[in-house]
Chains A and B, each alone.
Chain A
Amino acid sequence: MAWAADGAVQSLPGGPAVRQMDLAPPATQIAADVQSLHYGLLVVCLLIFVAVFGVMFYSILKHRKSLGAKPANFHESVKVEIAWTIVPFIIVACMGFAATKTVVAQKDTSNADLTIKVTGYQWKWGYEYLKGPGEGIQFLSTLDPAQRQMSDAGKPSGDDYLLKVDHPMVVPVGQKVRIITTANDVIHSWMIPAFGVKQDAIPGFVRDTWFRADRTGDFYGQCAELCGKEHAYMPIHVRVLSADDYAQWVAGEKKRLAELADDPKKVWEHDALMARGQQVYAGNCAVCHRPDGKGGGPVKPLDGSAKVLDADHLVQIQVLLHGQNNVMPSWKQLSDTEIAAVVTFTKNNWSNQTGQTVQPSEVTAARAQ
């Protein structure tokens, strides 16, 4: 395979293009400004480069000993030194000046139409629509598991390889969207090149940025701050919809959420909880604790763990709610039902055959403490 991508992959609109050599085609005013700044800089730098090294190569060609060049004797000139201090100074001053407006514009997150809180988790993104149309919607966005498997197998395929998520973030076109970033465990970074946006998500702090997409379509980015082993596997997918489509999406989403919302008071059958727990485990825990529950490195095994086997359900519930030792993050963003299900699952899987069943109400009670 001479060129890996020969024909096997097409450019992804809103994402990377095959052999792309330039910034992504801008989909916001900021991204367009950034692109022209970049072109401007590139031209200035190239001109200086050509001038300086033109002189140098001329000299290399002409002033050689083999051509009989005799060394001149000058080695100092205050005038020249001052000149080539001042001129570059003026050039960089102009560059700084040119960039200032964009810096200020990029930082202005006021008067947003829609505010979305983006939370980085190891290794997925959580979206929460805080204000504006769609308020109240929230969901997690995870890499499609098939992509991860292809990666492991070393057999990637598809134009959206490693960029496909189960649940893209959706925004309306032409509206100012304010993104508030934060993180749950370590630092992540939320970026969409086509929007000219990149903002670190810092645990314990909120930071913000904004964009106003000027066309509909799908746009992609990837986590841009080293966040542990699955750093390469937490892509960002933003779908920009027309106002009508967006309203429709909001309606659909609200309905879905209402259906999905588990009643934490419900009393579950053991088997139903096990089945649900298996899903939760595969989606959240298996990356670290491994599917066989053996953990690895700093990650503790669950199989045979005293805390998992403990007859007091609270012991394990507390670990899930509050995390442990910096390594195990807190999972309080999961619903009571999900926590109860996954606790039940781990208590009754592999060699752990405790026969215990943990009900969502126990988690509700633990949370209230």
Chain B
Amino acid sequence: MSAVLDAHGHPAHDAHDHAHGPTPGWRRWVYATNHKDIGTMYLLFSFTMLMIGGVLALCIRAELFKPGLQFFNPELFNQFTTMHGLIMVFGAIMPAFVGFANWMIPLQIGASDMAFARMNNFSFWLLIPAALLLVSSFFMPGGAPAAGWTLYAPLTLQMGPAMDAGIFAMHIMGASSIMGAINIIVTVLNMRAPGMTLMKMPLFAWTWLITAYLLIAVMPVLAGAITMTLTDRHFGTSFFNPAGGGDPVMYQHIFWFFGHPEVYIMILPAFGIVSAIIPAFARKKLFGYTSMVYATGSIAILSFIVWAHHMYTTGMPVTGQLFFMYATMLIAVPTGVKIFNWVATMWRGSMTFETPMLFAVGFLFVFSMGGFTGLILSMAPVDLQLQDTYYVVAHFHYVLVAGSLFAMFAGYYYWAPKWTGVMYSETRGRIHFWGSLIFFNVTFFPMHFLGLAGMPRRYADYPMQFADFNEVASIGAFGFGFMQVYFFLATVLPMMRGRGEPAPAKPWEGAEGLEWEVPSPAPHHTFETPPKLDETATRVVG
């Protein structure tokens, strides 16, 4: 274990001229080069953004509680919707997964840190100006951007100065994501401990490797799209202006070429987390490791050729519609393979249901519902009825909230003992799980009905017939929000303060992997010299 633990009295250590404890005071965080500290900052940042985005969601739900305008004018409402989407996607979900990657990937593959420690911190600190620009846009003349998170031209051309702040914010976040992705790829490809071959690597590292590849491929494309918006707004170009020979639909093509892979960017790391948790609590090896890897790769590749399923109603030629319909449906196949493998992992295992496992099973169940509604949306004729209605809103909250967010909760409960050195309270974890699961469905299930009945999304007010389901959804939303506050107060805060039972190095009987080979809390520096691994690459020997 000496390779793992902090060195005591190793004279050779002084050759590394870095200090061994963390730097005291605020410099520890602002000047951080330690992957664990940076991971913590990422996680706290994204939780803050989840709260801000969540409050905006509650404003939306409060307004929609009853028909008729209750609290906000429609313009402000559109700003809420837009900023809710942007903040959740770019501020909450994506950075949270990077936070998980920062904490866990070096631990899981036996690396001393991320490949580029300073750039790692740069990726994080770039998020702060981006978030400030985005959130402060509410106070700019004309208010925050109100063109939807998709920022469709030509509506964006009508927005006030906040739109430009938003565009620059997205540029900065894009730069942050690209740097983060490069860091992760290089760490995974180049810093694995000897013996940790690619095909022995934990799936979380695999899914992130592929996610990082997607990020590098599509973030620049988004940057390109919004740059064209910017020049159309201020420098007289006509990319999206038909009067000058441009095309508003061109924006949509470029945006969704980014946007569809983006949704897999938000789900693949979740798949990785779940693939770690289910075997741990089934006390049985993951079924079909190899096919899981291939399935992840197939999803990533397919994700580049399905973008126009968001655009069936723009009116494309029939061949285009058919192509994108078939291609989209194909994605159900590799995703199905994953679901089946997880179920097969559970089959004839010896299961227990601590909170991480509860969230993982909840993820499987509810994410699949979202996947199936996605499949229904992929069928072009049906989508023509459902496009831009609450059915779509239901679909993507099922995959994003019950998918990405639930997987992150699962990951939190699973790994936080390693991060903080204390166990969470199992009762509170269960309350959080059941509360979230129930309120989640109360919030979003009725939206399917609203969508089928034809209630359009991004509406500040709606016909009276839609009132009942909206009321239910709003009640659910407040309940769901309450559960997240509970989660923070009852679980996160005590753990951050170190209150709770001390966690053993490996709190989960069935867990496997190098992260459990180091003590809890994980020391500031781990694996400074590459550990020697056994042949499954899950244990440190000697």
Contacts and interface: CB of A to CB of B under 8 A. Distances in A.
A and B touch in the complex (CB under 8 A): yes
A229 B66 CA distance: 19
Interface in A93-123: 95-96, 99-100, 102-104, 106-107
Contact of B78 (A197, A221, A229): A229
A230 B74 contact: yes
A65 B283 CA distance: 9
A308 B285 CA distance: 76
Given A38-B376, A103-B322, A162-B463, A204 B242 contact: yes
A193 B147 contact: no
Given A75-B284, A92-B333, A226-B148, A103 B465 contact: no
Given A64-B350, A327-B158, A12 B315 contact: no
A64 B314 CA distance: 51
B461 A9 contact: no
A92 B329 contact: yes
B75 A53 contact: no
Interface stretch (A13-21, A170-178, A254-262, A352-360): A13-21
Interface stretch (B206-214, B335-343, B499-507, B516-524): B335-343
B468 A18 contact: yes
Most buried by A among B68, B78, B159, B345: B68
A154 B63 CA distance: 10
Contacts of B340: 52, 84
Contact of B382 (A41, A60, A224): A41
Interface residues of B, number: 106
B453 A60 contact: no
B325 A99 contact: yes
A95 B368 contact: no
Contacts of B159: 298
Interface string B121-158: 00000000000000000000111001110001011011
A34 B384 contact: yes
Given A63-B346, A158-B464, A232 B459 contact: yes
A65 B464 contact: no
Contacts of B313: 189, 198-200, 224-225
Contact of B468 (A5, A59, A152, A221): A5
B63 to A, nearest CB: 10
A63 B349 contact: yes
A350 interface: no
Contact of A60 (B318, B346, B369): B346
A152 to B, nearest CB: 6
A222 interface: yes
Interface string A231-247: 11100000000000000
Contact of B314 (A85, A150, A191, A202): A202
Interface string B43-82: 0000000000000000000000011111001110010000
B336 A84 contact: yes
Contacts of A76: 287-290
Contacts of A326: 154, 157-158, 233
B372 interface: yes
Contact of A71 (B283, B322, B387): B283
A327 B469 CA distance: 36
B412 interface: no
Interface string B465-496: 11111110000000000000000000000000
A66 interface: yes
Interface stretch (A205-213, A271-279, A309-317): A205-213
Contacts of A34: 381-382, 384-385
Interface in A272-329: 297-298, 326-327
B351 A49 contact: no
A70 B283 CA distance: 9
A156 B382 CA distance: 31
A250 interface: no
A49 B369 contact: yes
Contact of B387 (A21, A64, A198): A198
Nearest to B155: A186
B195 interface: no
Given A12-B463, A59-B346, A76-B290, A232 B74 contact: yes
Interface string A149-169: 011111111111111000000
A206 to B, nearest CB: 9
A269 interface: no
A341 interface: no
Nearest to B158: A327
A20 B287 contact: no
Nearest to B161: A298
Interface in B377-410: 379-382, 384-385, 387-389
Nearest to B330: A92
B78 A231 contact: yes
A56 B363 CA distance: 13
A23 interface: yes
A49 B449 CA distance: 19
Prevailing SS type, chain B contact patch: helix
Given A52-B343, A161-B464, A228-B155, A59 B336 contact: no
Nearest to A77: B288
Contacts of A200: 313-315
B70 A154 contact: yes
Nearest to A19: B468
Nearest to B73: A229
Given A52-B368, A205-B247, A298-B158, A9 B465 contact: yes
A97 B456 CA distance: 29
B361 interface: yes
Contacts of B247: 204-205
B78 A185 contact: no
A204 B350 contact: no
A363 B68 CA distance: 40
A18 B449 CA distance: 11
Contacts of A56: 343, 346, 361, 364-365
A2 to B, nearest CB: 9
Contacts of B456: 222-224, 231-232
Contact of B463 (A15, A73, A153, A228): A15
A198 B349 CA distance: 49
B263 interface: no
A245 to B, nearest CB: 26
A296 to B, nearest CB: 8
B321 to A, nearest CB: 6
Given A71-B348, A80-B288, A187-B154, 14 more contacts: A4-B66, A37-B379, A52-B343, A52-B368, A56-B364, A60-B346, A63-B347, A65-B283, A71-B349, A84-B337, A157-B464, A204-B247, A226-B148, A229-B75
20 contacts: A5-B468, A8-B464, A21-B449, A37-B379, A53-B365, A60-B346, A75-B287, A75-B288, A76-B287, A77-B288, A80-B288, A80-B344, A84-B336, A92-B332, A103-B322, A155-B68, A205-B247, A225-B313, A226-B152, A326-B154
Interface of B: 66-70, 73-75, 78, 141-143, 146-148, 152, 154-155, 157-160, 233, 241-243, 247-249, 282-291, 313-315, 317-318, 321-322, 325-326, 329-330, 332-333, 336-337, 339-341, 343-353, 361, 364-365, 368-369, 372, 375-376, 379-382, 384-385, 387-389, 449, 452-456, 458-471, 510
